[in-house]
Structure 1
Amino acid sequence: MTDITGRLRPRSGAVSRVMLWSVRARWGLATMVIAAHLSGLAVIATQLILIGFPGRLGDDLARGLITVSIYPVVAFLIGIGLAIRDRDAYFAWFDRSGKPTPEEARRLLHLPAGVTMRSLVMWAPGVVLSASLLARFTPENDFTVLLAMFTIGGLESAGLTYLIVDRLIRPVVPIVAGVLGATMHWSSSVFARVVLAWAVSGAMPLSALIVVLADPATSEDHRIRTGIYLAAISLAVGVLATAALARAVATPLRMLRIAVDRITRGDLDVRVPVGSASEIGRLEHSVNEMSANLRERLRMRDVFGRHVGEEVAERALAGGVDLTGDVREVSALFVDVTGSVAISTGLPPQEFVAKLNRLLATVVAATEDNDGLVNKFEGDAALCIFGAPIALADNATPALRAARRIRDEVLAAGELDIGIGVARGRVFAGDVGTDTRREFTVIGDAVNAAARLTTRAKEVPRRVLVSQSVIDAAADEERARWVKYGSVALRGISEPEPSWTDIEPEAPV
C-alpha cells in the first residue's frame, strides 16, 4: 500500500492495534509481560498434572502448593511494579506526543533484551526454591525432575517475554529510526528471533518430554499422555511462531521488493517505513537512502546540465575524478551581440538581461536541435561546439544549419543584432582545472578562428561568416546554400582566411 506521498506502509491488523495499545496504555507493557510469565507457570502446572505429580504429594498437597506459591506471588507483584516503571521510563516521550531524545531512542532498543534478562534473574531463585520445597513433600524427593521442569518453564517464559516485547515496540521503531538514522541492535536481529522462535516452539517442549521420559517415578500412562500433550503443543506453538516469524520477515521484504521495482522504473519518491532494528530495518533504511541519493543525483544532473549541457553533465557524472580529454575534429560556432555596450547603457539592466536571455534561448534550442553543445556563455556571447563531447559523423552540416537558424530567429525578433562565426579544425576537448574545480572546454585554432570570424560577421549583410574548412566538410545539400564571400584578414592569423556566407533566399513571387 502507498499513501499520497508515495510512502509504502504495511497493512494494519488486530495484532498491530493491540501492540500500539500496549505502548500507549500505562498497564499495557505490564499486561504483556505478566501474560508471558503466566504462560510459563501454566507450562509447569500442566506438566506436573500430566505426570500425576499432585498424587505424589498425598495429604501434603495443600500445604505444598501454598508453600511453593509464596515466591511466585511476591515475584508477580514485583514484576508488575517493574513493568509499570518500565512503561514510564521507556515511553515517557510517547506521552509527550513528541520524539524521543537520542538517548531515549537508544535505551528503547535495549528494552526487549533488558526485560528478558530481568525475567531470567527473577525466575532463577524461584526455580531453585520451588523445586527444593516441593521435593521435600514427595517420598521420591524429585528435586532433579522438578528443577528441570521449572527451569524449562522459566526459559519458556523468558523466550515469550522477549518475542512479545520485541513485537510490542515495533510500532515505534520508525520514530526511533527517524531520530537515530540507520540503527541496529543485536537482540533484535533476525538470527536472534529465529533462535528464540525455535527454542519456544521446539526446544523447550522436547526438553520437557525428555525430562518426563527420564523420570522413573512417572508411570507409562502418564508418559504417553504427557508426550501427546507436548507434541501437540509443540506443533501448535510451532505453527504460530513460524507464521509470525515468516510474516515479520516476508512483509517488509515484500515492501522492499515493491519499492525497488518502483525505483527501477524511475519512481524515486518511494519511502519505506523502517519497522525494526534488525538487518531488515537496516535494509529498509538503505533503500530509503538509495532513493534519496538517486533523487539528489537526478537533481544535480538537471542543475548541472542546465549549466554545462546534458552531454557534459552525463560525462562528468559517469566519470571519475581524473582530468580527461582528447583531440578531435569539431566545428565551433561563436555568437556575439553587436553594440552590446551601447544597448546596455540605454536600457535598464533587467530589460537588457531579458533580451539577452531570449537570444541565448534561441542559441540553445538551435544548437541542441542540431546535436551540438552550448559550451559556455561569455557575457553577451556564446560558444557552441559540434562534435564534442559526443562525436558526430558530420559536424559541419549541423553547425551551418544552426548558424542560419540562430541568425534568422534573432533578426526576426528584431531586438538585437548579432554576428556569427563558424570554423572547423582539430581541438582539445576535455576537462581543465584541478581535482576540486574543473570545467569542460574546447581549446584550439578552430575556436579562435570562429571568434575572429564573428567580429567580421557583424559587418556582413547576412551576419554569418564561415571558414573554408567548414564548407569543404559539409553535405552537398547544405553547401549549396552558401556562397564565397572572400578572404578576410583575422587578428592573430597571418594569412587571410577564405570565408563564406549564406545565400539570401529569393523573395516569393
Structure 2
Amino acid sequence: MSSSHAILPVEMFLPRETIALIDQYGAKFPHDLALEQDMTVVFSDMRGFTELAELYEPQEVYAAINASLAIQVKSIHAFGGSVNKFLGDGLLACFAGEGKSERALACVAELLKLLPEHEGLLLPCKVGFGINSGKILFGVLGDEDRWEYTVVGDVANTAARLCGIALPFQALMTEHVVADISGHSKDRYCSFLGPQLFKGKKKAVDLYEVRTDSGAEPG
C-alpha cells in the first residue's frame, strides 16, 4: 500500500537569500559567488547550555531550545529580518535595507522582554545577543558536495564576539549600530558601557547595551 507524504517547502530549510540566488542562477550557481552588502547582523546564543544538557534529558533540552528559537525567529521576521542559520542553541540573523539597524535593535529589545517571560514554561534558556552593522560579504562556502551561503567578514566576527561576552538576557552592540539609528532610538535603547579590546583586534570597540525601557513595535 502506497502512502503519500506532504512535501515541505524549501523555504522552511533555507534562508531567503539562498533561495533568491538559486532562483536567479539555477544550475549555473557560481561556487565563488561573494556579494558585498551593507547589513546589520545579530547573533544569539544561550548561556549555560553545558550545564543544562548535563542536568536534563536530551528531549527536554531540545524542546526548550526549539521553543526559544521559535520566539526569536517570529520576532526577526516581524521586524523584516532573515535567519541565515541556526547555531545549535542560537542563530545568526541579517537585516538589510532601509532602517536595518533600527529594526534589528527594536527586534532584540522585544526579545529581551519576551524570552524571560517564557523561561518558566520550559527549561531556562538564558540568551545573550551581539549586534553589529557595516559592510559584509555574503559568500558561498564549501565544496561541490555541500555549499552554504553565509556571512563573512569582520562585522559578523565582531557581532559574534559581542554575543560571546553578553550576560544572560543582555544584548551588546557596537558604535556602528548606534551611528546607524536615529537620535530618538539611541535615547530609547542605548546605554554606553565603554571600550572593549578583543584579542586579535588592534582597535578597541565602543560597546553599548540595549535597554528595554519601552515597548518595540515592528515597522
TM-score grouping bracket, smaller chain normalisation: 0.7 to 0.9
Task: Give the structure 1 partner of residue 192 of structure 2.
Answer: 484
When residues 492 and 308 of structure 1 are mapped into structure 2, their CA distance, relative to the original with a 3 A threshold, is farther
SS at match of 1:319: helix
What's the counterpart of residue 501 of structure 1?
209
Cα RMSD between the aligned structures? 2.0
Matched, 1:463 2:170: yes
For 2:85 and 2:129, how far apart are their aligned partners in 1?
15
1:306 equivalent to 2:39? Answer: no
Q: Distance in 2 between matches of 1:366 and 1:393?
A: 18
2:3 alignment partner in structure 1: none
Q: Which amino acid aligns with 2:173?
A: V
Larger-gyration structure (1/2): 1
Q: Which amino acid aligns with 1:396?
A: S
Q: Is the 8 A contact 1:432 1:438 kept in 2?
A: yes
Structure 2 residue matching 1:315: 3-state secondary structure: helix
Q: Residues 18-50 of structure 1, C-alpha deviation per residue, up to 9 Å, x if partnerless? A: xxxxxxxxxxxxxxxxxxxxxxxxxxxxxxxxx
Contact 1:305 1:312 in 2 (8 A): no
The answer to whether the Cα contact below 8 Å between 2:113 and 2:212 also exists between their aligned partners in 1 is no
Deviations 1:218-245 (A, max 9, x none): xxxxxxxxxxxxxxxxxxxxxxxxxxxx
**Alpha-carbon deviation of 1:307?**
1.8
Q: Pick from 182, 191, 200: which aligns with 1:475? A: 182
Residue 399 of structure 1: how far off its partner (Å): 1.1
Higher strand share: 2
1:416 pairs with 105, 116, 125, which one? Answer: 125
* Cα deviation digits, residues 197-228 of structure 1 (max 9, x gap): xxxxxxxxxxxxxxxxxxxxxxxxxxxxxxxx
Cα offset, 1:315, TM superposition: 2.8
Partner of 1:54: none
Give the share of equivalent positions with the same residue, in percent.
23
Post-superposition offset of 1:435: 4.2
**If the length of structure 1 is used for normalisation, what is the TM-score?**
0.38
Q: What per-residue deviation string (whole Å, max 9, x for no partner) do you get for residues 150-207 of structure 1?
A: xxxxxxxxxxxxxxxxxxxxxxxxxxxxxxxxxxxxxxxxxxxxxxxxxxxxxxxxxx
Which SS does the other structure have where 2:185 is aligned?
helix
Q: Is the 8 A contact 2:109 2:212 kept in 1?
A: no
How far off is 1:382 after superposition?
0.8
1:329: how far off?
1.5
Q: Relative contact order: is structure 1 or structure 2 higher (C-alpha 8 Å, sep ≥ 6)?
A: 2
1:375 is displaced (CA, Å) by: 0.8
What is the CA deviation profile of residues 449-493 of structure 1, one whole-angstrom value per residue up to 9, with x for unaligned ones?
11111122117xx61110000010013332222121211232332
For residues 212-251 of structure 1, what are the structure 2 equivalents within 5 Å?
none
Q: Do the aligned partners of 1:322 and 1:435 also contact (CA within 8 Å) in 2?
A: no
Q: How many residues align?
A: 201
Could you report, residue by residue, the CA deviation over 1:256-301 in whole angstroms, capped at 9, with x for unpaired residues? Answer: xxxxxxxxxxxxxxxxxxxxxxxxxxxxxxxxxxxxxxxx9xx56x
SS of corresponding position for 1:363 = helix
- Deviation of 1:436 (Å): 4.5
Q: Distance in 2 between matches of 1:310 and 1:427?
A: 17
Q: What is the TM-score normalised by the length of structure 2? A: 0.83
- Equivalent residue runs for 1:364-375 within 5 Å: 364-375=73-84
Distance 1:377 1:353 in 2: 13
Note the C-alpha offset of 1:317: 3.0
Code of the aligned partner of 1:497? V
- Matches for 1:222-301 after TM superposition, within 5 Å: 299=7
- Which position in structure 1 is the counterpart of 2:109? 404
What amino acid is the match of 1:418?
A: V
User: How far, CA to CA, are the matches of 1:312 and 1:406 in structure 2?
Assistant: 25
